[in-house]
Structure 1
Amino acid sequence: MQPWVCQRPRSGVYTFSMPASAAPRPVILDGDPGHDDAINILLAHAAPELEVLGVSTTYGNVGLERTTRNALVTLELIGSSTPVYPGADRPLLVPRLSAESVHGQTGLDGPLLPAPSRAAEHLHAALFMVQAIRERPHQVTLLPTGPLTNVALALRLAPDIAPLIREIVWMGGSLDVGNWTPAAEFNALCDPHAAAIVFGSGVRVTMFGLNATHQAIATPERIAPFRALGRTGEVVAGLLEFFAEHHRERYGWNGGPLHDPLTSAYLIAPQLFEVQPMYVTVDTTDGPSAGRTNCDQWHVTGQQPNANVAMTVDADGFYALLTERMAQL
């Protein structure tokens, strides 16, 4: 697949164009919607170079029942019939965490959203992943934006799929500090054992950790253009404004970081990002470093890199892409 060509003229205005010969890249969105997960679902559906095979859900920001409903609500907003597959409702070994303090009791607090008109599928998310990957070997990219439990379960249930997965682009972890503990980012801490399975699987992994996502702050100036884009744009603006409140209170930032949509944006316009190959392990101990993603940036371990770690984000380009895509929904 050829990516969008992104150009930034001296005027500072980004333009994106897709080569006529480009073919859609099959993806599975796996997450715990969540404000930024919902926006990632919208972005992926607005990208003609991505073919969304399904949306799978897990616990995380809120419980599985609510994340599944939130996925259906988000798809209802744009009239999409993409199937939704509920998955794990808890981590492999550790107690379940939840983030209502960030996302509200529903997980999508803020704007008024439509009720879903259909139900989720009966097939478990992990089994759906196995089925889709076997049907399209070396083609499917997984975009998990929550705990990695569903992906780990799929790899354990069907080890044969590991070499058949094209890539895993995960929003989680951090090159430096955490956001749920001093050491750990929320998605990694939710299920460090699942994350360890994924990083040890041999699958090509690209990690968008906090060190990268915190560069993409949704300031009021970046939110404002969405309001001119109709109903979907108004919802995106409302989600971003609610999400900003927590980050203003905790960090003093002028907005919230838009973590999860960076995964889809990376597939659409990889030139907006810099990634660096590293050897990554996950701390699965019970101590204060539980859930930490240990990234060997300077290759001091002598281990071969098992992941690409996102380092820089062209935030202006990312928001230009996001605004342009939302205008097409």
Structure 2
Amino acid sequence: MKRALSGVLALATASLAAPSSVVRHGRTLPLDLASRSLNSSSSTAGTKIILDNDWSSAGFIPYLLALNAGWDVLGLIGDTSNSWALQTSLHGLATLEVGNLSSCIPVYKGSDYPLILTPETFQTWEDLHGDLAWQGAFAAENLTYEALGNDPTSGDPERVSRSAFFEGYPNGTLAGNHSAAWMVEQVRKYPGEVLIYSGGALTNVALAVKLDPEFASLTKGLVIMGGYLDVTLLQTSGSTLQADLNSDINLKIDPEGAKAALTADFPKITIVGNAANQVFPTQEYLDEVYEVKNGYTSLFYEHYGTEFPFWDETAMFSVLEPSNVLNSTSFYLDVDIAYNSPYYGNIIGYQEALKPRAQSLQKVDFIYEIDGDKLKAQIKESLQYPKTCADLASF
């Protein structure tokens, strides 16, 4: 916790040392081979995974980490969180094409809207309880901002901003719009084998839970990026960026979806909230990764930046193998779904003796700390030597 906090506080005064154009989680901002054997003996190699995320131009590292570990990536899903589901799904497809991976990994579009919220009701909640530092897809529509290379917000969910595709606009097409049904199909095809990863909103996972009562129990588990605890004080002072780093847009853009997913009977639920703020990229690290030049290292070098931590990457890394996690705890989890609450969308933790009796809450693993040096080594390896469809065929 101290390491994460010191990184956040230092961020407020650090000077920007990144390339001139940075796209991080959909936001445009001005501006050694020794590790290659790290995953060769991973006890989790061969795990099947579906990755649901609000993909962006530089958001490809989670699936590259999974592929590098020898995991079977069944497909990607784009969700509405930082931008609309269509835009994020197309980013997923486009970044797969960068590494010639789109022929062996399909991309499905998720739900346009959360279970309940709309941009209007989200903004009304902000009127009542205060603005979030980052509002994701439900920020007010700003066509001028989009023209500068940002993903679309509010307005028409089918609107696509081509200027945001720094990776290049995709040549292929999405596999379909039925992501929840596809997830159910895959989990029933491989019962007990499929891990569900969510780096964005939990809407599509919630829809799969509601579509098939056995969906959650038939998976291998669920891992999410999001779910901060005890960080309210960090949102009260300093820069709004510090408040952004400690707010939960992934849950707050669809609190009801988060509740449905996180109270379902997954065999294992891993929450990577606070720990996701632990490791930040530096310009020195960007330079180091870029020593090997390819499509992915170029996008990473030019558009990842140093302002935000390795959020989604930390979540993926946390489940690749047990030794990656240095400190964790477990408790029963609920999600606040009271629209009149200032904590709408935040998680609530309980010990066994104090948990609610009228609800069936799930016990979750909450990650406090990961091996940051190992994370950076695996990101570097995954980017410099990304797996290809030919590699996947030989697994």
Q: TM-score range by the shorter chain?
A: 0.7 to 0.9
Aligned with 1:30 (options 23, 34, 52): 52
**Structure 1: unaligned runs, 5 residues or longer:** 1-12, 245-254
- What is the TM-score normalised by the length of structure 2? 0.70
Say which of 310, 322, 326 aligns to 2:383. 326
The residue type paired with residue 74 of structure 1 is: T
Question: Which residue type is aligned with residue 260 of structure 1?
Answer: D
Distance 1:111 1:239, change over 3 A: farther
Contact 1:184–1:293 (CA under 8 A) maintained in structure 2: no
Greater displacement, 96-105 / 31-40: 96-105
SS in 2 for 1:59: coil
Is 2:246 the partner of 1:172?
A: no
CA contact (8 A) 1:36 1:260 kept: no
TM-score under structure 1 length normalisation:
0.83
Residue of structure 2 aligned with 1:73, choices 91, 94, 99: 94
1:117-156 equivalences in 2 (<5 Å): 117-156=171-210
SS at match of 2:65: helix
The aligned residue for residue 317 of structure 2 is: 265
SS of the equivalent of 1:222 reads helix
Equivalent residue, structure 2, for 1:58:
79
Q: Which has the larger radius of gyration?
A: 2
Does 2:337 match 1:284? yes
Report the secondary structure of 1:18's partner residue: coil
Which residue identity lines up with residue 99 of structure 2 in the other structure? I
Q: From the superposition, tell whether residues 290 and 184 of structure 1 become closer, same or farther in structure 2 (CA, over 3 Å).
A: farther
Higher relative contact order (CA 8 A, sep 6+): 2
2:65 corresponds to 1:43: yes
**2:110 is aligned with 1:90:** no
Match of 1:285, as an amino acid? A
* Cα distance in structure 2, aligned partners of 1:36 and 1:278: 33
Alpha carbons of structure 1 residues 105 and 198: separation in structure 2 relative to 1, 3 Å? same
Indicate how the Cα distance of structure 1 residues 75 and 177 shifts in structure 2: closer, same or farther if over 3 A, else same: same
What is the DSSP-based 3-state SS (H/G/I as helix, E as strand, rest coil) of the residue aligned with 2:61?
A: helix
CA contact (8 A) 1:38 1:70 kept: no
Aligned partners of 2:79 and 2:111 also within 8 Å: yes
Rounded to whole Å, the distance in 1 between the matches of 2:65 and 2:149 is 22
**Contact 2:42/2:321, CA 8 A, preserved across alignment:** no
> How far apart are the structure 2 equivalents of 1:139 and 1:45?
16
Cα contact 2:107–2:176 (8 A) shared by 1: no
- The partner residue of 1:206 within 270, 286, 290 is 270
Contact (CA 8 Å) 1:32, 1:146: kept in 2 or not?
A: yes
In structure 2, C-alpha distance between the alignment counterparts of 1:240 and 1:182, rounded to whole Å = 16
Residue 245 (structure 2) pairs with residue 222 (structure 1): no
- How far apart are 1:106 and its partner, in Å? 3.0
Gaps (5+ residues) in structure 2?
A: 1-33, 120-134, 140-144, 153-161, 236-242, 387-395
Distance 1:72 1:181, change over 3 A: closer
SS in 1 for 2:60: helix
Query: Which region of structure 1 is more displaced relative to structure 2, 162-171 or 22-31?
Result: 22-31
Q: In 2 relative to 1, CA 323–63 (structure 1 residues): closer, same or farther, beyond 3 Å?
A: same
Identity %, equivalent residues: 26
The answer on whether the counterparts of 1:62 and 1:105 sit within 8 Å (CA) in structure 2 is no
